[in-house]
């Protein structure tokens, strides 16, 4: 018997019937069995309902809920994140999968240090038949909560921590996640403010490249955001991060108003100063790649290459 669950694995899904089984089976095969799996179907139009029903019948740890209407990705995340009553939770994308010992290894680290809010495995990214790329998520161990937030925003755009083992009490203070550009980074920053984050190289989250988060334009379309947010995504993220810290999230409620504003400004500055090329390319890229500009620069580039052979 698995006993009372210590971890709730949250699986949001929409029209991903072809890959959903792999994600579900990676949860049910975990070496630590004291978990439950809650699937939220965002009103899928494919065979998702039938697939989930088969796993509900197979394993009593699986619960399935179908949203009556599509809530959008962030709406579905918020619904799921508000449900767990367990001490820990873990979000899993419907096209990702876990190593069999992922929960066991992450929870062992979390239990050794009650201050931690996030523990992740390393992330393996798969693209077709090519060998996977291994990415180590950032360790955020500064004693200062503000320093952890700024370090994350300045040095890492990885959202893999969103899919780590999370302390449920820290998550509750960070809800709801705003439906804005950079929502996952805003959420991770709030968790980093609540407590340190660690990565273990002994287990892995496995991810397929592409999908909804393949590019900012796709994110904006799926989330119902404005075209402007997709045109200047990094400045939009900087502004959204400032607003969330200074005025929005309850995660920063223990700070005075002036402290919140100061940290919000520092956070926006960390995003811009930490990723200057991204901010520049958001503005200059569309001009450089405009077909009229390419019509002029293309022949010049080809002529230069012809006169400078490798």
Total of domains in the chain: 3
Residue 120 CB burial class (10 angstroms; 0-12, 13-18, ≥19): buried
Where would I find the H helices in the chain?
17-28, 48-58, 72-81, 102-112, 145-155, 168-173, 183-194, 216-223, 227-231, 233-243, 257-274, 276-288, 291-307
Query: Would you say residue 300 has pLDDT above 60?
Result: no
Domain that holds residue 284: 280-310
**Are residues 227 and 260 both part of a single domain?**
yes
| pLDDT attached to residue 298 | 55
**Are residues 244 and 292 both part of a single domain?**
no
Task: Read off the pLDDT of residues 199-235 as tens digits, 9 standing for 90 and up.
Answer: 999 999 999 876 555 577 777 777 777 777 777 888 8
Task: Report the percent of the chain where pLDDT is more than 90.
Answer: 69
| pLDDT attached to residue 292 | 58
Q: Which residue has the higher pLDDT, 3 or 287?
A: 3
Task: Read off the pLDDT of residues 3-42 as tens digits, 9 standing for 90 and up.
Answer: 789 999 999 999 999 999 999 999 999 999 999 999 999 9
What does the CA dihedral 231, 235, 239, 245 come to, rounded to 10 degrees? Answer: 120
259, part of any domain = yes
| Mean of pLDDT values over 43-51 | 95
Specify the range with the lowest mean pLDDT, choosing from 38-47, 59-68, 176-185, 206-215. 206-215
**Are residues 5 and 55 both part of a single domain?**
yes
27, part of any domain = yes
Query: Would you say residue 1 has pLDDT above 50?
Result: no
**Are residues 5 and 89 both part of a single domain?**
yes
210, part of any domain = no
Query: Would you say residue 2 has pLDDT above 80?
Result: no
Task: Read off the pLDDT of residues 94-143 as tens digits, 9 standing for 90 and up.
Answer: 999 999 999 999 999 999 999 999 999 999 999 887 888 888 778 999 99
**Are residues 240 and 274 both part of a single domain?**
yes
| pLDDT attached to residue 310 | 42
| pLDDT attached to residue 225 | 77
């Amino acid at each position: 018997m698995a006993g009372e669950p210590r971890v709730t694995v949250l699986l949001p899904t929409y029209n991903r019937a072809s890959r959903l089984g792999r994600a579900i089976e990676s949860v049910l095969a975990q070496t630590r069995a004291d978990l439950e799996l809650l699937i939220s179907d965002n009103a899928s139009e494919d065979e998702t309902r039938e697939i989930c029903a088969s796993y509900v019948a197979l394993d009593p740890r699986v619960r399935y809920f179908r949203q009556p209407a599509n809530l959008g990705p962030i709406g579905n995340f918020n619904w799921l994140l508000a449900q767990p009553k367990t001490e820990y939770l873990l979000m899993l994308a419907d096209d990702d999968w876990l190593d069999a010992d992922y929960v066991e290894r992450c929870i062992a680290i979390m239990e050794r240090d009650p201050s931690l809010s996030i523990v992740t495995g390393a992330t393996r990214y798969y693209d077709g038949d090519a060998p996977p790329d291994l990415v180590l998520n950032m360790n955020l161990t500064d004693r200062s909560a503000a320093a952890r937030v700024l370090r994350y925003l300045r040095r890492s755009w990885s959202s893999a921590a969103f899919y780590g083992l999370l302390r449920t009490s820290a998550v509750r203070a960070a809800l709801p996640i705003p439906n804005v550009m950079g929502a996952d980074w805003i959420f991770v920053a709030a968790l980093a403010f609540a407590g340190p984050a660690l990565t273990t190289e002994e287990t892995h989250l496995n991810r397929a490249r592409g999908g909804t988060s393949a590019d900012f334009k796709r994110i904006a379309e799926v989330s119902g955001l404005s075209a402007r947010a997709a045109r200047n995504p990094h400045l939009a993220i900087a502004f959204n991060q400032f607003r969330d810290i200074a005025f929005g999230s309850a995660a920063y409620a223990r700070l005075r108003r002036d402290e919140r504003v100061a940290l919000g400004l520092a956070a926006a500055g960390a995003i811009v100063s930490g990723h200057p090329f991204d901010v520049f390319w958001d503005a200059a890229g569309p001009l450089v790649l405009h077909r009229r500009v390419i019509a002029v620069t293309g022949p010049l580039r080809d002529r230069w290459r012809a006169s400078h052979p490798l």
